[in-house]
Amino acid sequence: MTHDTHDIAASDGPCLPTAFQEGPIEGVVCRQLTSYEDGRGWLVELYREDELEPGDNPMMAYVSQTLPGVTRGPHEHREQSDYFALIGPGDFKLYLWDNRPDSPTCGHKQTLVAGESNLQAVQIPPGVVHAYKCISDAPGVVLNFPNRLYAGRGKREPVDEIRHEDDQDSPFVMN
């Protein structure tokens, strides 16, 4: 049995402010990554269990390529935390919006440039809307280590994804 990606209504409802304000978002963790280089090449530690928030240990991993000028998202998850490792090639502009009604930073928007020029790992909790755009002249690569399996065990469950990219009235605007 296969499942297509589809909308899942948020159970608690979004906070939907009239305008998002720039600022940090509670629960979003950004870690500067370090490239260790020697005569053989380089190595970057993407994550360590002792650096992750409790309960957010990865359950799977995937890599995606995004073409220059292309965006992915905005979307959010009801239960899943994403853990992006943005190390290049290429750079991305990452957009985050706190859409959690019970969050003290509900209504905040956070953006950062990450990738080859700024090695980052970013942990994104459920309810934080996120999107990214490849801002390089060449395709960019993103690694993700989510804490939930896509479509559940055996891919037999609904996909935990609330998509906003086709909503003409979406407050989640990338600029």
Chain segment 55-74, per-residue pLDDT in tens: 778 999 999 999 999 999 99
Question: Residue 74's Cα: distance from chain center in Å?
Answer: 9
CATH architecture entry for 21-47+61-163: Sandwich (2.60)
Query: Token digits for 136?
Result: 């390089």
pTM as predicted: 0.86
Q: Where are the domains of the chain?
A: 21-47+61-163
For 98-117, the pLDDT digits (tens) are 999 999 999 999 999 999 99
- Backbone angles phi and psi of 88, in degrees to 5: 95, 175
